[in-house]
């Protein structure tokens, strides 16, 4: 029965009980061919579309909902088959086949609908190309940002390395090393320079105990003490110790240490170690020199003290007895005897003056300087009054005292200096008919420069430095009396004030002595 | 026994002789006793204690061997009988600390011995005359 129906069906695929569909078009060519062509081209397209679809699906490795695509393909093929049979039906009435095809198409389309319904939620999840574009753009931007950050990081890393290098070279140049100790791990860090200070290659293994043992034995107790104080009391240190490097060289170092905290607890120490060997040794040498100098100064002091006593005493005797001789025995001596006696007497006086001047000069070096404001005009007037008692003062002396700025200095020392300078000016002008001495001042780069100008015999500028030395005299004492200490005393006074003295002079014209304090 | 006018404590023979010459020249009939060093001076002031022998002026050299002027000065000021005697310190030293210490220990004046005998004679005789006359008046 079933078989019969099937046979019948195929028997009736093309039966002539129906008219071909062309009859409906009344064989009108336009109607007929437009329908036939429409169906054929559609059928062709409907066969080609699934072909492309299948090709696409097979080629695309990753594709969502492959089944749906296949279903679409079958659905479109079945549509194509319906159109193809429609074109055939114009001439041959395969209406059964056509019906069968349509039923197949209906089934397939219905299945497609069901399948679409099932797959819809998943299909909705598939991002659209524009969504994908947005995501893509975002992704691109993220990648760019990441690349930028990476470059920046790289630059920072390079910078950091440069900084570390710079720090290392700075530490090397400054002979400063930095170190730290972590109590929890027992690990210590030494910068390259710390190794170098210890005479080690950078990177050699280090331990706190080794570090301590590098210090000279007499410092170790102190080292342990400060480390303990840092650990227990949070005290920092800054001290100078002697370190014995790996080669046995003793080096003075300054070390500092500061406790490092975590949650209020000391967890380690960090600090610096500075090679101060050269400075320290220089300072020690200087200190020794100072002590030596103080010693020799004290010796000098006791020397001048004993000179003042011991040399003056016999001199007083020579002088005293010579004077008594002159007074009481002059008539008992002949002229030559008196001449010789006078020489003895004058020489004794002269030697006495010399000793007094040397002692005054040496006292100057030891005397403490008490700086106070000094009214220079007033002081110069006082000095001139005293100089006026001098035997060099004759009737024709003109002293000009200009307006002088006040000075900061030791009044009695400045008085002595001014006395010597003005007396000097008078002395070396004493052969002139009219003596003119000017005491004035001018400003030089904001500093007051005082001057004493005379119209005396002048000095050959060749000797401009020599005349300030002790016992330097340019003239025999027959021409001008003096011990040769006066200007040395002046220079010492000016220099003790931190000042400077110099002169301008021309032989036969006069001299000008300048000084500033 | 003649009254004592001046006690001169001076270790240097020449200085002592010159001082005595100068004093005798300036003051008529002046009686000067010279003690040749610190030891002798201490001995004199410790043992004598005779008010009749109380000097009217003591001239004391600062720098002497063994016992110096400052030590002698301290001792003199501790003896009742010469406590108020005028004392003039003689010295070659211009050291500030010596001068100040001498004044602190109670000297009446201070003479820096000059090299010139004339100057020395003038100074020492005027000091001698001054103190002798002051003592005369107070008597």
Q: Are A231 and A243 in contact (CB under 8 A)?
A: no
Per DSSP, what are the bridge partners of residue B6?
B32, B57
Tell whether A441 is covered by a domain.
yes
Single out the residue of B61, B47, B46 nearest to residue B7, CA to CA: B61
Residues A234 and A295 both lie in one domain? no
Q: Please state the rounded mean pLDDT for residues B85-99.
A: 80
Q: Which of B94, B95, B117 sits opposite A320 (nearest CB)?
A: B117
Strands A447-453 and A435-444: antiparallel
Q: How many CA atoms lie less than 13 Å away from A203 in the CB half-sphere?
A: 0
- CA–CA distance, A401 with A378 (Å, rounded to integer): 10
The three-class DSSP label of residue A186 is coil
Q: How many CB atoms lie within 10 A of CB A65?
A: 17
Tell whether B1 is covered by a domain.
no
Q: Assess whether pLDDT exceeds 90 at residue A474.
A: no
Do A355 and B115 lie within an 8 Å CB cutoff?
A: yes
Is B103 near chain A, with CB under 8 Å? no
Q: Assess whether pLDDT exceeds 90 at residue B111.
A: no
Residues of chain A contacting residue B114, judged by C-beta atoms under 8 Å apart: 316, 352
Residues A53 and A12 both lie in one domain? yes
Alpha helices in A175-239 (DSSP H): 192-197, 208-213, 217-233
Tell whether B27 is covered by a domain.
yes
Q: Are A469 and A488 in contact (CB under 8 A)?
A: yes
Do B117 and A308 lie within an 8 Å CB cutoff?
A: no
Residues A68 and A104 both lie in one domain? yes
Q: What is the CATH number of the domain that holds A463?
A: 3.30.565.10
Q: How many CA atoms lie less than 13 Å away from A364 in the CB half-sphere?
A: 26
Residues A50 and A106 both lie in one domain? yes
CA nearest to B17 within chain A: A317
**Stronger pLDDT, B130 or A225, i.e. the higher one:** A225
Q: Please state the rounded mean pLDDT for residues A104-108.
A: 90
Q: Is B135 exposed, middle or buried (0-12, 13-18, 19+ CB in 10 A)?
A: middle
Q: What is the CATH number of the domain that holds A269?
A: 3.30.450.20
CA of A317, closest CA in chain B: separation in Å? 6
Tell whether A170 is covered by a domain.
no
Tell whether B17 is covered by a domain.
yes
Q: How many CA atoms lie less than 13 Å away from A475 in the CB half-sphere?
A: 13
Q: Domain limits at A440?
A: 370-516
Q: Assess whether pLDDT exceeds 60 at residue B139.
A: no
Q: Are A21 and A86 in contact (CB under 8 A)?
A: yes
Q: What is the pLDDT of residue A147?
A: 93
Q: Assess whether pLDDT exceeds 50 at residue B1.
A: no
Q: What is the pLDDT of residue A10?
A: 62
Residues A269 and A395 both lie in one domain? no
Q: Which of A312, A319, A321 sits opposite B92 (nearest CB)?
A: A312
* A225, A253, A275 - which closes a domain: A275
Q: Which of A312, A321, A324 sits opposite B115 (nearest CB)?
A: A312
B138 pLDDT band (50/70/90 cuts)?
low
Q: Which of B18, B95, B117 sits opposite A305 (nearest CB)?
A: B95
A472 pLDDT band (50/70/90 cuts)?
low
Residues A376 and A512 both lie in one domain? yes
Q: Are B46 and B19 in contact (CB under 8 A)?
A: no
- State percent of chain A over pLDDT 70: 93
Q: Which two tokens stand for residue A353?
A: 């003056």
Q: What is the pLDDT of residue A1?
A: 62
Per DSSP, what are the bridge partners of residue A514?
A451, A502
Residues A183 and A261 both lie in one domain? yes
Q: Tell me how far CA of residue A278 lies from CA of A195, A237, A250, A255, A283, in angstroms.
A: 18, 22, 12, 15, 8
Q: Tell me how far CA of residue B127 lies from CA of B8, B13, B58, B91, B120, in angstroms.
A: 13, 21, 11, 15, 11
Residue-wise pLDDT tens digits, A180-233: 888 888 788 888 888 888 888 887 775 544 667 888 989 989 988 998 899 888
Residues A494 and A380 both lie in one domain? yes
CA nearest to A352 within chain B: B115
Tally of structural domains, chain B: 1
Residue-wise pLDDT tens digits, A152-168: 999 999 999 998 888 88
Q: What is the pLDDT of residue A237?
A: 93
- CA–CA distance, A513 with A211 (Å, rounded to integer): 64
CA of B21, closest CA in chain A: separation in Å? 9
Tell whether A161 is covered by a domain.
no
Q: What is the pLDDT of residue A149?
A: 94
Q: What is the pLDDT of residue A7?
A: 67
Give the number of beta-carbon pairs within 8 Å between A and B. 60
- CA–CA distance, A447 with A461 (Å, rounded to integer): 25
CA of B11, closest CA in chain A: separation in Å? 11
CA nearest to B19 within chain A: A320
Q: Are B70 and B38 in contact (CB under 8 A)?
A: no
Q: Which two tokens stand for residue A278?
A: 């050269």
Tell whether A163 is covered by a domain.
no
Q: Which two tokens stand for residue A310?
A: 């011991």
- CA–CA distance, A17 with A466 (Å, rounded to integer): 158
Q: Domain limits at B133?
A: 6-138
Q: Are A255 and A237 in contact (CB under 8 A)?
A: yes
Tally of structural domains, chain A: 4
Residues A52 and A116 both lie in one domain? yes
Q: Is A503 exposed, middle or buried (0-12, 13-18, 19+ CB in 10 A)?
A: buried
Residues A199 and A258 both lie in one domain? yes
**Stronger pLDDT, A510 or A208, i.e. the higher one:** A510
Q: How many CB atoms lie within 10 A of CB A8?
A: 12
Instruction: State chain A's mean pLDDT as an integer.
Output: 85
Q: What is the pLDDT of residue A254?
A: 92
Single out the residue of A213, A226, A217, A176 nearest to residue A197, CA to CA: A176
Residues A448 and A499 both lie in one domain? yes
Tell whether A493 is covered by a domain.
yes
Tell whether A364 is covered by a domain.
no
Q: Where are the beta strands (DSSP E) in A146-249?
A: 176-182, 188-190, 237-244
Tell whether A108 is covered by a domain.
yes
Q: What is the pLDDT of residue A156?
A: 94
Residue-wise pLDDT tens digits, A76-101: 999 999 999 888 888 888 888 888 88
Least confident of A12-21, A436-445, B32-41: A12-21
Q: What is the pLDDT of residue A336?
A: 92
Residue-wise pLDDT tens digits, A236-290: 999 999 998 888 889 999 999 999 998 888 899 999 999 999 999 999 999 999 9
Helix (H) or strand (E) holding B22: helix B13-26
- CA–CA distance, B62 with B111 (Å, rounded to integer): 10
Tell whether B11 is covered by a domain.
yes
Tell whether A401 is covered by a domain.
yes
Least confident of A5-9, A139-143, A423-427, B31-35: A5-9
Q: Are A387 and A426 in contact (CB under 8 A)?
A: yes
The structure's pTM equals: 0.50
* A244, A275, A306 - which closes a domain: A275
Q: Which of B14, B91, B118 sits opposite A317 (nearest CB)?
A: B14
> Following DSSP, what letter does each residue of A287-342 receive, concatenated?
HHHHHHHHHHHHHHHHHHHHIIIIIHHHHHHHHHHHHHHHHHHGGGS-HHHHHHHH
- CA–CA distance, A439 with A450 (Å, rounded to integer): 7
Residues of chain A contacting residue B95, judged by C-beta atoms under 8 Å apart: 305
Residues A510 and A399 both lie in one domain? yes
Q: Are A271 and A179 in contact (CB under 8 A)?
A: yes
Residue-wise pLDDT tens digits, A386-421: 888 888 887 788 888 988 899 889 998 899 899 999
Q: What is the CATH number of the domain that holds B77?
A: 3.40.50.2300
- CA–CA distance, A155 with A272 (Å, rounded to integer): 29
- CA–CA distance, A431 with A418 (Å, rounded to integer): 21
Do B115 and A309 lie within an 8 Å CB cutoff?
A: no
User: Which range is most confident: A10-14, B1-5, B64-68?
Assistant: B64-68
Q: Torsion angle, CA of A84/A87/A91/A96, rounded to 10 degrees?
A: 50
- CA–CA distance, A480 with A108 (Å, rounded to integer): 147
Q: What DSSP state is assigned to residue B52?
A: G
* A212, A245, A275 - which closes a domain: A275
């Amino acid at each position: 029965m079933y078989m019969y129906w099937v046979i019948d069906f195929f028997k009736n695929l093309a039966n002539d009980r129906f008219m071909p569909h062309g009859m409906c078009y009344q064989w009108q060519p336009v109607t007929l061919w437009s329908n036939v062509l429409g169906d054929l081209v559609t059928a062709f397209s409907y066969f080609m579309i699934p072909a492309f679809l299948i090709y696409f699906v097979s080629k695309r490795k990753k594709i969502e909902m492959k089944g749906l695509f296949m279903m679409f393909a079958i659905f479109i093929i079945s549509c194509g088959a319906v159109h193809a049979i429609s074109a055939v039906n114009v001439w041959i009435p395969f209406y059964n086949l056509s019906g069968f095809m349509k039923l197949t198409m209906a089934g397939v389309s219905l299945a497609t609908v069901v399948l679409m319904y099932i797959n819809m939620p998943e299909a909705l999840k598939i991002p659209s190309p524009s969504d994908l574009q947005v995501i893509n753009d975002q992704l691109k931007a993220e990648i760019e940002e990441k690349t930028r950050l990476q470059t920046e990081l790289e630059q920072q890393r390079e910078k950091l390395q440069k900084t570390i290098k710079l720090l290392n070279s700075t530490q090397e140049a400054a002979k400063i090393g930095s170190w730290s100790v972590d109590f929890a791990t027992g690990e210590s860090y030494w910068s390259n320079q710390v190794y170098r200070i210890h005479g080690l290659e950078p990177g050699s293994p280090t331990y706190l105990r080794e570090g301590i043992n590098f210090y000279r034995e007499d410092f170790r107790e102190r080292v342990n003490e400060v480390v303990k104080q840092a650990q227990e009391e949070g005290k920092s240190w800054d001290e100078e110790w002697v370190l014995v490097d790996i080669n046995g060289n003793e080096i003075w170092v300054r070390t500092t240490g500061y406790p490092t905290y975590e949650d209020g607890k000391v967890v380690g120490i960090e600090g610096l170690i500075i090679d101060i060997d050269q400075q320290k040794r220089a300072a020690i040498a200087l200190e020794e020199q100072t002590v030596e100098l103080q010693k020799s100064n004290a010796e000098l002091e006791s020397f001048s003290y004993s000179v003042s006593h011991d040399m003056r005493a016999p001199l007083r005797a020579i002088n005293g007895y010579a004077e008594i001789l002159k007074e009481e025995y002059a008539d008992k001596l002949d002229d030559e005897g008196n001449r010789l006696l006078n020489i003895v007497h004058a020489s004794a006086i002269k030697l006495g003056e010399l000793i007094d001047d040397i002692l005054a000069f040496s006292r100057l070096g030891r005397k403490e300087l008490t700086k106070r404001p000094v009214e220079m005009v007033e002081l110069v007037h006082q000095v001139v009054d005293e100089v006026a008692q001098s035997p060099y003062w004759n009737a024709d002396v003109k002293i000009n005292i200009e307006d002088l700025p006040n000075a900061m200095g030791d009044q009695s020392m400045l008085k002595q200096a001014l006395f010597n300078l003005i007396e000097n000016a008078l002395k070396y002008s004493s052969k002139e008919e009219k003596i003119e001495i000017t005491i004035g001042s001018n400003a030089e780069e904001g500093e007051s420069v005082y001057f004493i100008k005379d119209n005396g015999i002048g000095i050959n500028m060749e000797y401009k430095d020599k005349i300030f030395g002790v016992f330097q005299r340019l003239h025999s004492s027959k021409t001008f009396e003096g011990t040769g200490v006066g200007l040395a005393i002046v220079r010492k006074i000016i220099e003790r004030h931190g000042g400077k003295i110099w002169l301008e002079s021309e032989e036969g014209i006069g001299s000008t002595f300048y000084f500033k304090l | 026994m003649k009254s004592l006018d001046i006690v001169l404590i001076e270790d240097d023979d020449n200085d002592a002789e010159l001082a005595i010459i100068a004093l005798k020249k300036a003051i008529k009939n002046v009686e000067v006793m010279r003690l040749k060093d610190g030891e002798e001076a201490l001995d004199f002031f410790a043992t004598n204690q005779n008010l009749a022998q109380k000097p009217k002026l003591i001239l004391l050299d600062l720098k002497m061997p063994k016992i110096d002027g400052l030590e002698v000065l301290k001792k003199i000021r501790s003896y009742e009988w010469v406590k108020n005697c005028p004392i003039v310190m003689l010295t070659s030293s211009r050291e500030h600390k010596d001068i100040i210490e001498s004044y602190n220990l109670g000297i009446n004046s201070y003479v820096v011995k000059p090299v010139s005998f004339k100057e020395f004679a003038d100074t020492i005789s005027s000091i001698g005359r001054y103190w002798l006359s002051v003592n005369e008046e107070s008597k």
